[in-house]
Structures are given as C-alpha cells and as structure tokens.
Amino acid sequence: MHNRASQRAELDQKQRGPQAADRSPAGSQAEKPNSAELEERIRQRAYELYVAGGCKDGHADEDWRLAEEEILGITGGG
C-alpha cells in the first residue's frame, strides 16, 4: 500500500509527463538560486501538492516538507 507522499509523487509525475523525471529538481550546478528564489520554488511546489491533494486543509506542513524534499533534494528521515 502506498503512503500519501508516494501517491502524490505518482500523480504529479503523471501530470508533468515523462520528461519531468529527467530534470534535476534543484537545477544545474552553474545556476544556484538564492534563498528567496528557493523559497518561492518551494512555495509554488507546496501549492501544487495542495491542489493535487484535492485542496484539503490541514496538510500545509506536510505539503511544505514534501516540496522542500523535492526542490532541495533532501530525504526524510522516516
């Protein structure tokens, strides 16, 4: 059985298409975004996750954490 994060990731991948998997989530090494740009990208992605999850309230922290993991390329400890 899939957990909520993996279900969202699968749904998002289907929406973005196969080319999205080939792109690095953090961009190229030559172009390092500043902290304001990173925060905006995380904010945008968290909103996309909110919409993909059916716009249900009460999951903002989880959406933000998942967006950070995707954008920054970090893995959760659990």
User: Where do runs of H (alpha helix) occur along the chain?
Assistant: 4-16, 35-52, 60-72
The residue behind tokens 């309230």 is 57
Q: What pLDDT, on the 0 to 100 scale, is given for residue 32?
A: 76
DSSP secondary-structure letter at 22?
G
φ, ψ dihedrals at 30, nearest 5°: -70, -25
Q: What pLDDT, on the 0 to 100 scale, is given for residue 53?
A: 95
DSSP secondary-structure letter at 18?
G
Domain boundaries, the chain: 1-16+36-78
Q: Which pTM was predicted?
A: 0.56
The string of pLDDT tens digits covering residues 20-34 is 444 555 554 557 779
Lowest mean pLDDT among 12-16, 51-55, 65-69: 12-16
What percent of the chain is predicted at pLDDT more than 90?
Answer: 50
φ, ψ dihedrals at 7, nearest 5°: -65, -45
Confidence check: pLDDT of 17 > 60:
no
